Amino acid sequence: MHCSACRKDILYEAIHWVCSVSTCNRSRTRLVFCSVACWDSHLSTVRHRESWAVEERALSRAAWAALADGVPEVEKVARAPVAPAPAASRIVSPAAPRAPAISTPAARAPADVPTLSAAFERDVMIVVSKMKKYIKDRSGMNTSDAVAEVLSDHVRALCDDSIRAAATDGRRTVLDRDVPRPRR
C-alpha cells in the first residue's frame, strides 16, 4: 500500500491510519495514511462534518498473497488486536499539542514529547456562544462568562480520564468508549 497523501510505502503489518468517514474507506477510494499528519492533510480537500484518524495494521505478506490468489475473504487481519507499535513509528502532527506523559510505564510518552504549556491548560475548551444559547433556550437563564472556565476544567478532566482508559487498554488512540458517560 502507499500513503494517499505523501505516497510513501506502507510496509506489511505496519501501523497506518484510515479516515473514520465511510466514504473514504470504500473499496474504490480506500484512503490510507502513513501518519496522522498525512490524514490531516486530506481534510483540506474533503468536507467531513466529523472525522478522526483510526489506527490500523496493514495485512501480512501471507494475507496479501491470499487476496491475490482469489481467496473469497481474508479474516479481518487489519483490525485484529495487535501489540502497540514502538513509539518511533507513531508520527503525530508536530503542530498538535500532546497530552502530558501518563504515569503508567507502558503508556509513558517518549522524552522528546512536549508538555502542555500553562497557557494551553487555561484555554477555554468549549464554544461559549453555544453554551450560553443552550442554557438560555433550556431554562431562560443568563450565563456568566466565568462558567466557561469551570466547564473547560471539567472537559480537561474528562479528557484526562479518557486518556487513562485508552492507555489502560494499551491503545494510543482515545475512542468514544473511553469517555465517561454523563450522569443524569
Per-residue pLDDT of the chain (184 residues; tens, 9 = 90+): 888 888 888 888 888 888 888 778 777 778 888 888 887 877 777 777 777 778 888 888 888 788 777 655 444 444 444 444 444 434 343 344 444 444 444 444 444 444 555 656 678 888 888 999 999 999 999 999 889 889 988 888 898 899 999 999 899 899 999 999 888 7
Q: Domains in the chain, ordered, with CATH?
A: 1-96 (no CATH), 97-184 (1.10.20)
**Distance from the first to the final alpha carbon of the chain:** 46
By CB atoms closer than 10 A (0-12, 13-18, 19+), residue 165 is middle
Q: What pTM was computed for the model?
A: 0.38
Going by C-alpha positions, the residue among 5, 76, 1 that lies closest to residue 36 is 5
Question: Beta 32-33 vs 15-19: how paired, if at all?
Answer: antiparallel
Give me the sheet containing 15-19, strands edge to edge.
32-33, 15-19, 53-57
Q: How many beta carbons lie within 10 A of that of residue 15, not counting itself?
A: 20
